Structure 1
Amino acid sequence: MADPDSDSDSRGDARADIQSAVEAIRAGELVVYPTETVYGLAADATDPDAVERVFEAKGRSREEPLSVAFADVDAALAATAASDRAERFLRAFLPGPVTVVVERGPDLPDVLTAGSERVGVRVPDHPLARSLAREAGPITATSANRSGEGSVRHAADLAPGFRDLVAVVLDAGETPGGESTVVDPQRGIIHRPGLRADAVREWLASEP
């Protein structure tokens, strides 16, 4: 016979895990979280020191900007200066596996964008990712691995040395895999084709 409290217990465990992750991010630490593609690495995207820890953990060049994940499109718009066309695109494709390049807002630091005035925006189609972004504020959106190594679809596959640099891992089992399409809708440029690339091309061609 199933335990009648098992569902509520698992929800309680998930709630506690998210709260621990939120507290870690607020303290400037790193968190691994699931998305609809691969596991991502989160830090407070508005804290230059926390963002610097992401670069250090990944061994990533500071000339390669990081993207930012938000809980929803409205939160993304509040933190950026997206054009009207970019806003229409955001509302058409997010949440989903698409990174949208827009003008950044004043709260996003230079280290995040490698000094650029534009930033990649994500709203992951995963409830844990969105809950984390909702409660911790804008978080970095980059794969949870060392640069040059393969992305991780199972939390158990995190490299031991990399895992040691992370305060909390939100393990949601296997993720679907794949890469987000990176697109600048204002300029009509696809920087990296990935998931939903054909739909993105159709939108760019048909929308004024």
Structure 2
Amino acid sequence: MAERGTDIARARDVIAAGGLVAFPTETVYGLGADASRDDAVARIFAVKGRPRAHPLIVHLAADARLDDWAIEIPDAARQLAAAAWPGPLTLILRKGPRVAAATTGGSNTVGLRVPAHPIAQALLAAFGGGIAAPSANRFGAVSPTTADHVATDLGDDVAYILDGGPCTVGVESTIVDLSRGVPVLLRPGGMPRGAIEAIVGPLGAADVAAPAAPGTLASHYAPRAEVIAVDLD
């Protein structure tokens, strides 16, 4: 099984060396690697069995500069970042040069998020860069909300599990696309639509030209469990 504990320095060193660390956010546990290294990010796809065209979300420290990771940033994105970060909201923006091509699946956009979990923030501050992280599970499996879930699903395929206890939100972050003009909701999640619209106004409808959004498989929310039909008549 993977090494497991609460050692931020150990987790930072694994990320810095190009390895994988599972770490808690307020939504779910993420499987993290250096977002600026194609070789490190490739390990995420290999361990998860995730198609390379599925982009990853880049997690940032609370004091990170948005302009270091994205370009052509609209005012609406800055308003949402100021109001909702740290929190369960991911913004899709035009990607900057620090983001590895593998992180975005070759797309010219990137999902950016500042998680609220104190352990995630401690790791990000210690590392000093962006951490690309999908949910810490095999592709298509239920998203993990405890370190035990990660250990059971990934075993020793992850170098270190940073144990922060159970996640408080339990569903992935909300994703809003701001790369093409009118803000568009790509994935519902931990931040309600109404809270977003209170900041930037009505959200547009997604279409086939929208960037691919991670974590939209229905199986993410479908635990392996017996289902019993009850006839109430």
TM-score category, normalised to shorter length: 0.7 to 0.9
- Calculate percent identity across the aligned residue pairs: 41
Matches within 5 A, 1:4-153: 14=6, 17-72=7-62, 74-81=64-71, 82-136=73-127, 137-153=129-145
Change in Cα spacing, 1:183 to 1:73, as seen in structure 2 (3 Å) is farther
Supply the AA of the counterpart residue of 1:180. Answer: S
User: 1:150-186 CA distances to partner (integer Å, 9 max, x unpaired)?
Assistant: 0111101225461311111110111121221100234
Return the alpha-carbon distance in structure 2 between the equivalents of residues 117 and 105 of structure 1: 9
Whether the 8 Å contact between 1:73 and 1:123 is mirrored in structure 2 is: no
Match of 2:147 among 145, 150, 155: 155
Return the alpha-carbon distance in structure 1 between the equivalents of residues 63 and 74 of structure 2: 13
Counterpart secondary structure, 1:164 = helix
Unpaired runs of 5+ in structure 2? 204-233
Return the alpha-carbon distance in structure 1 between the equivalents of residues 63 and 184 of structure 2: 20
CA-based RMSD of the aligned residues comes to 1.8
Return the alpha-carbon distance in structure 2 between the equivalents of residues 114 and 157 of structure 1: 26
Aligned to 2:195: 199
Whether the 8 Å contact between 2:68 and 2:98 is mirrored in structure 1 is: no
What TM-score, normalized by structure 2, do the two folds share?
0.77
Counterpart secondary structure, 2:107 = coil
Give 1:75 shift: 3.1
Counterpart secondary structure, 1:86 = helix
